[in-house]
């Protein structure tokens, strides 16, 4: 796979799965944009990636839940790099608790970032992609969006909604050479999973046929394929990277 000349935006790209995606795309020749709420860390990550892979990498401030912030970020990318070929909607948050204890603010915060945030970013790049008659959008969903998870009514709803967004947008933009797909990771060690109780981690392990947690790099490989020209005839699809949890 060759990404020379391509520009990729990865939201929430400063660490974890997002960073693994950015590093993989940069290794294959893409110019990458690390768009994150933590500007200092985003710029630090971009600098490290540029130093290793010798391709342009920039860090930009982004609050995906704020449409004005998203518009400013995309304008900055176009001004500095001239185009947007790939968007990876990776930014996400959790506020897990049972629905009886969940505050309305917990619901709003998760839906605003995970679902509205992805919608904001898609809307901001799609006009440019349509003019180019080329684009790749990859949304990071979750197995929780496919099967639901107790204590995650907000997170599961946001990730299920992201699958619906993926399929609807794929139909809207297909005629302009733009594909829209989703990757649904299973249990991957990240900042979002570090605080899970050990007994919950142990019970989750029993649900994974391959008998281990996944790696950020394995999710990045799936995203990279969807973002490539080799996947030009694939759109509106959801690929689970979950060790077999969701096999049917």
Catalytic residue numbers read: 155
Strand order of the β-sheet with 178-185 is: 57-61, 31-36, 7-11, 86-89, 135-140, 178-185, 238-241
Cα–Cα nearest to 46, from 67, 71, 69, 18: 18
Select from 90, 118, 119 the least CA-distant residue to 188: 90
Question: DSSP string covering 204-245, please?
Answer: HHTT-TT-S---HHHHHHHHHHHHSGGGTT--S-EEEESTTT
The whole-angstrom separation of Cα 22 and Cα 61 is 16
């Amino acid at each position: 796979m060759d990404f020379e000349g391509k520009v990729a935006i990865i939201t929430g790209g400063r660490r974890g799965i997002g960073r693994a995606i950015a590093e993989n795309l940069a290794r294959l020749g893409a110019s990458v944009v690390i768009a994150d709420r933590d500007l200092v860390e985003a710029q630090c990550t971009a600098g490290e990636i540029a130093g290793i892979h010798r391709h342009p990498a920039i860090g930009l401030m982004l609050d995906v839940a704020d449409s004005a912030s998203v518009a400013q970020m995309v304008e900055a990318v176009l001004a500095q790099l001239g185009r947007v070929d790939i968007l990876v909607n990776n930014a996400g948050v959790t506020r897990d608790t049972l629905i009886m204890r969940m505050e309305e603010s917990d619901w709003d915060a998760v839906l605003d970032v995970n679902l509205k945030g992805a919608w904001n970013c898609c809307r901001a790049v799609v006009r440019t992609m349509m003019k180019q008659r080329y684009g790749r959008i990859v949304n990071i969903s979750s197995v929780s969006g496919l099967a639901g998870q107790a204590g995650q009514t907000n997170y599961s709803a946001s990730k299920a909604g992201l699958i619906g967004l993926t399929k609807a947008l794929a139909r809207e933009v297909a005629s302009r050479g733009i594909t829209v797909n989703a990757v649904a990771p299973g249990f991957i060690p990240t900042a979002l999973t570090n605080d899970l109780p050990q007994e919950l981690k142990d019970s989750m392990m029993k649900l994974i046929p391959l008998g281990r947690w996944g790696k950020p790099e394995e999710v990045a490989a799936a995203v990279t394929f969807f973002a490539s020209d080799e996947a030009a005839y694939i759109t509106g699809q959801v690929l689970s990277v979950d060790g077999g949890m969701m096999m049917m």
